[in-house]
A and B are shown apart, each in its own frame.
Chain A
Amino acid sequence: MDRIIKILFFAFIVRPIVFIVLGLNIQNRQKLPLEGGAVIAANHNSHLDTMVIMSLYPLSKIHKIRPVAAADYFMKNKFISWISINCIGIIPLNRTGSSSLDELFRGCHQALDNGDILILFPEGSRGAPEKMSRFKKGLYYLLKNKKQIPVIPIAMQGLGNSLPKGEALFVPFNCNVNIGDAINVPNSSKEFNNQLKRFFDDQNLSP
């Protein structure tokens, strides 16, 4: 049942918006990870980011793609949390910082063990339109003890103009999507963020 809701939601709402109203120019599509557990690390400018990444996958795989999203935002009322959980399948993350790392990451680790593909935004929040913020360290700590999990960077450009943070007016623009080579998690968060930054620097989206 969960799967059917998701497939209908993506087939009739998300994919027409992403492919017809927006339109994607995709580079290096072959680098998209088709099997989990894997983590996609993308730049974050808009709510559309998650929708675009998920639309890169066929409908048959959509239930395996799990965006990790802030619980305080996406679970704030019944309607939004119903959509977030049932239509999109987010893994809620508690940002208040009161729980231990293990507890914080439990949902993510379970999903990775289950062979799911997580979508994370290392900048933490959407920030100013079409500009990158500094990377946070959460992704490194999430994978610190799971170094076999590959991290695939995806750069998106244009969505910050289509639907930027804090605006309700949606304006269609083509979105350029570039998928990078998988990164293996190194031994320090600094090195990890540098490797990620190098990919986004090449796209002129640097923090």
Chain B
Amino acid sequence: MFNIEQNSLYAMIGVLVILLFSTLIYLYKAAKHKEIDYTELKLRIKSWWWMIGIVFISLSVSLNTAIIFFALLSFLALKEFVSIVSMRHVDRRAIFWIYLSIPLQYYWVSIEWYGMFIIFIPVYLFLFIPIRLVILGETRGFINSVSTLHWAAMLTVFSISHIAYLLALPVQNVLAGSIGPVLFLLFMTQFNDVSQYVFGKLFGKNKIIPKVSPNKTWEGFIGGVVTVTLLSGFVAPFLTPLDMMQGFMAGFIISIFGFFGDVVISSVKRDIKIKDTGTLIPGHGGILDRLDSLLYTAPVFFHFLYYMKY
């Protein structure tokens, strides 16, 4: 318990320092400009402390705690997804089985059964959902329900479970330990969100995908890609088994797919005409609003690492 390898510990401390620094900036600004309402920013920062605190504690305690934490994240994400999309009433019985797939999927992770982990959702659950719906016998809206449920399972269970499997991979970078690659993925994904936002605010002119996300610009996107690619090259050898060159590639992949994860969830929200997917995280919205980029970066980073090193 609580034996975090040196590099991962430094990375965690680094993140806490950044967070502390941001909090101090906020406090300074709030004290200086009393006339401006900073409630939203305050909520956001407070939620960051909570999120980072919960993630760091569950990663530090033990491998199984971390796996259970990511399973819980899958549960919350799946619940949010099936609650915002409109489903037929009968579908609840199929949704129940997707919930049951979560403990199984994370069990495969905990026993390091890669073969089962990688096919369980895309093959077995994929085949099983229509079977359950057929037994229910309601054919109207069948295709729609099958597709929605399968996408929900892939996004919220399959994608997120890749973060947990990073923990189960044999350790190659001894100084970083098993949590190094997870910290790397989480940090780069969130840092990409922040960089794209900051570059967009500073230099944003040309809209990149106006119909989906009117605030996203080419300048923000490119700024994020360059920053994260460069930073990853220097951080990857420290936290993952990748070397510097591979680190640049990993950063490039994370920033590109982080962007797409973000706009995919934005499209879901546009489609059903909601602003946030929920209210679980004050200042951020729902759990899917926070996990959006990670739903894409987790599987692509995992498979990049797996292909390169395992």
Contact = CB atoms under 8 A, between A and B. Distances in A.
Interface in B80-127: 80, 82-84, 87, 89, 92-93, 95-96, 99
Interface string B276-307: 00111000000000000000000000000000
Interface centre among B79, B83, B96 (most CB of A within 10 A): B83
B280 A23 contact: yes
Interface in A17-36: 23, 25-26
B278 A23 contact: yes
A174 B278 contact: yes
Contact of B92 (A23, A26, A161, A174): A161
Nearest to A26: B279
Given A23-B76, A164-B89, A172-B99, 11 more contacts: A130-B89, A161-B87, A162-B92, A169-B96, A171-B93, A172-B75, A173-B79, A173-B83, A173-B92, A174-B83, A174-B278
Interface residues of A, number: 14
A199 to B, nearest CB: 21
28 contacts: A23-B76, A23-B83, A23-B278, A23-B280, A25-B278, A25-B279, A26-B279, A129-B89, A130-B89, A161-B92, A162-B92, A164-B89, A169-B92, A169-B93, A169-B96, A171-B92, A171-B93, A171-B96, A171-B99, A172-B75, A172-B79, A172-B99, A173-B82, A173-B92, A174-B79, A174-B83, A174-B84, A174-B278
The 10 nearest A-B residue pairs measured at CB:
A174-B83, A171-B92, A25-B279, A173-B83, A171-B96, A172-B79, A161-B92, A129-B89, A171-B95, A25-B278
Contacts of B278: 23, 25, 174
A187 to B, nearest CB: 39
Contacts, number: 37
Contacts of A153: none
Interface of B: 75-76, 79-80, 82-84, 87, 89, 92-93, 95-96, 99, 278-280
Interface SS of chain A: loop
A67 interface: no
Interface string A147-174: 0000000000010011010000101111
A158 B279 CA distance: 15
Nearest to A170: B96
Contacts of A169: 92-93, 96
Contacts of B84: 174
Contacts of A161: 87, 89, 92
Contact of A158 (B75, B76, B83, B96): B83
Contact of A174 (B80, B93, B96, B99): B80
A127 to B, nearest CB: 13
Nearest to B76: A23
A23 B82 CA distance: 13
Contacts of B99: 171-172
A50 B99 CA distance: 25
